[in-house]
Amino acid sequence: PTGIIGMSDPTRIAQFVNSSCPRWDPAAHGPEEYCNTIFHGREWERPVSMEYLDPAGFQVFQLDAGIRVHGSDYTRPRLCRNSKFSYRLYFRGDYGVPQLTESIIPRSMLPEWDKLVARGGLDDRINPFMRDELLRRCWIDMGHVGVQGTFVHLFVNGAYVGYYNICERPDQQFFQTWYNDSSTEWDVIKRRGDITDGDSVAWDALLAQAPLGPQPAEDRYDELEPLMDIENFADYILLNAYAATWDWPENNWVAYRPRVEGGKFKFTCWDAEGAFGYDGQGLNYHLFLQDLYRVRNDDNEIPRIFRALIGSATFKQILEYRASLHFFGNGALTDENLMIRYQEIADILAPVIPNFDNLPNNDFPDLDDDFSIGNYWIPNRRPFFLAQLAGFDIEPMPLPTPTFTSTPDVTSTPTVTLTSTPEPTATFTFTPVATSTPNTDLNGDGDVNAIDLL
């Protein structure tokens, strides 16, 4: 991975905390649980020192930040003391610098961050933990706004805890920075209607045009088009359906819109640890029929929208064109370009995982093994997926080579040229800032000097 992060500074004491900011320590229910991983909000944030070391020596820096446990309401109650926790880092003037301006994510185009996520790969537990990062890179290759990330070694309290995926977080601050407009507010809605920023008024209005019923709604294209970016949605469906993303579409999605007159919702990929054949969703998995077309009583937002649009000839034409653009020629989802992205990440992780290049190329792969993505999924998924599209009378094909005339407004078909960007493994170190007066036993284990984060 590209960096090392770490945390430690026993000299800093109670000026950052008070009695309303409890520590992370074992739960009263038993020594193998944390008592406060299930809680959200600023009051559960703790000050830390963060150090970053670039192995090439070009970047070495330290700054103070805030840290929280990162995870869903489903995940948090199930964490144990020996779990590989995911974290969120916050950069605030209260700690020191208000934003991180050091360029630690090589692919990112953002000039600064107010927060970053250190993803531990909860559902993608099997080395080399690349599915989510790979899907997000493919999404960006398709021409959309997406979260960038990289891989780092992580040390906590001086102890090595493995490699992590450091990435941006899709929220209002992210979109304001991306669009270089700090004045515009955003609605950001994620899994199961959880409101990250703004409110659900516009989102509820969109869903009202996609009624739930036993049969797909009649053509609602004209009603939905003013409320959402249809091409963005078509691409979002195509990518996740191709990748047979597990725990989606009922979960793990993000929709966003600027809170301005005429602002339309778009989607971006997030938390796709179940992509590319995870959890038994093999080469012939038909996500359209088994997930998008299925009637759900709840967690049905994306299926409702899809079912309201799939009866539209216009929407099918858009799907067909977007599939032709991405799956043929030099499109982002051709086997060749997918392998470029896969190999790009594999090259980052190869120095970290012993015998990476000698791991078996399975003839009968376990698709929960991430090596099956390059060995098995990418070389074999395409014909199954194109046949599934054909079942909806969607038949993508190579786009004609554009011809140019003297007509001034002729535009060429957009293409994507992919190249692999080398990313050396760097190191992060997290060290907790002491949160009580000296000689206080924070962990209940008799050690007055240690502060446990893991």
**What's this model's pTM, rounded to 2 decimal places?**
0.82
Query: What is the token pair recorded at 283?
Result: 């080469």
Query: What is the token pair recorded at 190?
Result: 């994620």
Contact, 448 vs 23, CB < 8 A? no
Query: What is the token pair recorded at 185?
Result: 């507010």
Q: State the Cα angle at 41 between 37 and 43, rounded to 5°.
A: 90
Task: Give the distance between the most distant pair of CA atoms in the chain.
Answer: 82
Q: Residues near 15 by Cβ (< 8 Å), separated by ≥ 6? A: none
Give CA–CA dist 429/442, Å, rounded: 21
Which residue's structure tokens are 């090392």? Answer: 4
Give CA–CA dist 382/408, Å, rounded: 37
Q: What is the pLDDT of residue 12?
A: 28
Query: What is the token pair recorded at 132?
Result: 């989510």
Q: Is 50 helix (H, G, I), strand (E, B) or coil?
A: strand
The tens place of each residue's pLDDT in the chain, 454 residues long, gives: 344 444 333 222 222 233 333 334 434 344 333 345 666 778 778 888 999 988 776 788 999 999 888 766 666 656 666 667 788 999 999 999 999 999 899 999 999 999 999 998 776 656 578 999 999 999 999 999 999 999 999 988 888 888 899 999 999 999 999 999 999 999 999 987 789 999 999 999 999 999 877 666 678 999 999 999 999 999 999 999 999 999 999 999 999 999 999 999 999 999 998 999 887 789 999 999 999 988 777 779 999 999 999 999 999 999 999 999 999 999 999 999 999 999 999 888 888 876 666 554 444 445 556 668 998 899 999 999 999 999 999 999 999 865 444 333 333 333 344 555 567 677 778 765 543 322 223 233 333 223 344 3
Give CA–CA dist 236/415, Å, rounded: 18
- List, as one string, the DSSP characters of 136-203: HHHHHHTT-----EEEEEEEETTEEEEEEEEE---SHHHHHHHTT-SS--EEEEEGGGEEEES-SHHH
